[in-house]
Structure 1
Amino acid sequence: MVAAARALESARENRLIDDPYAAALATAAGPAVPTAESDISAGLPDAVDYIGVRSRFFDNWFEKVCADGVRQAVILASGLDTRAFRLPWPDELRLFEIDQPKVLAYKDEVLDQQGARLRCVRQLVAVDLRDDWATALRQAGFDPTRPTAWLAEGLLYYLSATAEQQLLRTIHDLSAAGSRIAIENLHTKRSTLLNPDMSESSQRWGVDLDELLSAEDRTNAADLLTESGWLVHRETAIDAAGRFGRELGGAARGLSQFGDLLTAELPH
């Protein structure tokens, strides 16, 4: 679903991102996933606008932290993310992608068929985040003594409250001074997100959000990071969209009222 939204955003004249592989990754999943501009009405209302803004925000963040000298990055639950192939990474950047084995295998099979070329050193870590992913990450060559850029995009609200807290604690334990983190930080109840229109549309895309999203209340990730010494900055998707010349409406605007795009730095 997210790859389809990135494909639709990339096809627009005023696109915020250019993901040349998103359409192939979406269509390989089957004909139920819309990848043409005319099919937007069949998807989540305003999903394309929101995903476009979210993707651009985190693209810009990666470029900034790399400009500041960070040369190690981790994408948690990377899914069908193609940043390793489409962003202008600096020399010596090493990018770790963590996700379940079948997800990574599917993505690489499609990307190989597309002739996609890496733009950085990329290491896949095929492990479920509910398991001991920290050990798997170290075994893949991750260096906890180096500053790291961590991305959790479209992830936390699928985790239980306990799993989210454990994830953030593990990230903190693995982070050297100067590390950065970026999070799509939704901190509302599942029932708030699942209005009838969104639930019906997600079903048409083959995604059961009611089954996927965690129903638990949780501590705001901003508070957890601040307590651990991170310097936190938060921006709503509405404000980010304004900076990019895009106006969010409908469900996308409503979603922005229940969270923010969070970035943080662990000071020296």
Structure 2
Amino acid sequence: MRTDGDTWDISTSVGSTALFVAAARALEAGRSTAVAVDPFAEVFCHAAGGQWAALMKGLAPQHKLHSEFGERFVDFQAARTRYFDDYFLAAARSGIRQVVLLAAGLDSRAYRLGWRDDTVIYELDQPRVLEFKRTTLADYGAAPRATRVEVPVDLRDDWTQALCDNGFDRTAPTAWITEGLLIYLPADGQQKLFAGIDALSAPASQVAVEESVPMNAAAFEAAKQQERAAGEDGTFFTLVYNEQHKPAAQWFQERDWQVSATPLPGLLTALGRPVPAVDSAAGQMTGNITLVSAIKPR
């Protein structure tokens, strides 16, 4: 259950969802047909231990990620990762050298994408989540491929000031990402997030957003009850707000950004992955997701 001002580490509340996503990316990396490979996802799972390490060792055959839902969730993470990887690589080719990961979680792009040496990557998240990632990858012997700056802050607080206090250059074009974030913010938090991005974005900045249309109230409550009945309270539906301030494409278009929207089902099809049935658990989670990218005019 979410509350105002709640906090978490990598194994609790919203933080634990980062491990679920990392495990999905690790399973995708092991597929012969992988469309996105994150070599550090498995490292995070081993470091977290418990069910996550067991899953990587093949010792958790009953894990949810081995279910029909899990198979489709891995497909979803593969497509989402590929979309945002391509977005960042294109932004880098366009000349952008400043990157902001909002709710960075276990995003390892600072360590695995081909950045220019003069790129600065700001990672914003809860302090203990950032600490877990930093220490885990340092112990593994990995080093970021660009200058990486941690900004420990709750995105419901004044994150724009925290970002600027850590060296962010508001005169430089920036590539922003909000991946797996909006559903964990109330509607007013989403509005403040978009407004902060717009205010800090110099001309030629870019943003990529994952968003999901809220479920109807009855279906959302039923999904929460099913999760609790399965002993999964605090896994997904009980953590999200199920609110939306305004569709990202509309919000940024109204401020003259050049917008492109990609519905997730279409992306799955383009990548050769099945689209979950609308009435399935996976379909309820992914069916209404759209990936949006936008460029601020020069």
Q: TM-score, normalised by structure 1?
A: 0.90
Distance (Å, rounded) in 2 between the aligned partners of 1:193 and 1:23: 31
- 1:168 is displaced (CA, Å) by 0.3
Helix, strand or coil: the match of 1:32? helix
**Bigger mean CA offset, 244-253 vs 134-143:** 244-253
State which of 37, 42, 47 in structure 2 corresponds to 1:28: 47
Q: Distance in 1 between matches of 2:255 and 2:238?
A: 32
Match of 2:31 in 1: 12
Change (3 A) 1:142 1:178: same
Q: Tell me, yes or no, if the aligned pair for 2:79 and 2:268 is still in contact at 8 Å.
A: yes
- After TM superposition, give the deviation of residue 215 of structure 1 in Å: 3.4
2:276 pairs with 1:249:
yes
Q: Which sits farther off after the overlay, 65-74 or 222-231? A: 222-231
CA offset at residue 117 of structure 1?
A: 1.9
Q: How does 1:111-130 map to 2 (within 5 A)?
A: 111-130=137-156
**How many angstroms does 1:90 deviate by?**
2.2
Task: Between 199-208 and 185-194, report the one with greater CA deviation.
Answer: 199-208
**1:93 matched to 2:112:** no
Q: How many residues align?
A: 268
RMSD: 2.5
Larger RCO: 1 or 2 (CA < 8 Å, sep 6+): 1
Kindly tell me: are residues 184 and 117 of structure 1, through their superposed partners in 2, closer, same or farther at Cα, counting changes over 3 Å?
Answer: same
Q: Does 1:107 align with 2:107?
A: no
Whether the aligned pair in 2 keeps the contact of 1:159 and 1:214 (CA below 8 Å) is: yes
TM-aligned CA deviation for residue 252 of structure 1: 4.4
- For residues 78-113 of structure 1, give each alpha carbon's deviation from its aligned partner in whole angstroms, at most 9, with x where no partner exists: 001101111111231111100010000011111111
1:114-147 CA-partner distances (Å, limit 9, x unpaired): 1112111111111111111111111111101011
Describe the SS at the equivalent of 1:200.
helix
Task: Give distance in 2, aligned partners of 1:245 and 1:141.
Answer: 42
CA distance in 2 between partners of 1:200 and 1:47 (Å): 16
Change (3 A) 1:52 1:190: farther
Long gaps (5+) in structure 1: none
Q: Give the corresponding residue for 1:175.
A: 201
Contact 2:69 2:282 in 1 (8 A): no
Structure 1 CA distance, aligned partners of 2:231 and 2:146?
36
Letter in 2 for 1:16: V
Cα distance, 1:129–1:245 mapped onto 2, change above 3 Å? same
Identity of matched residues, %: 37
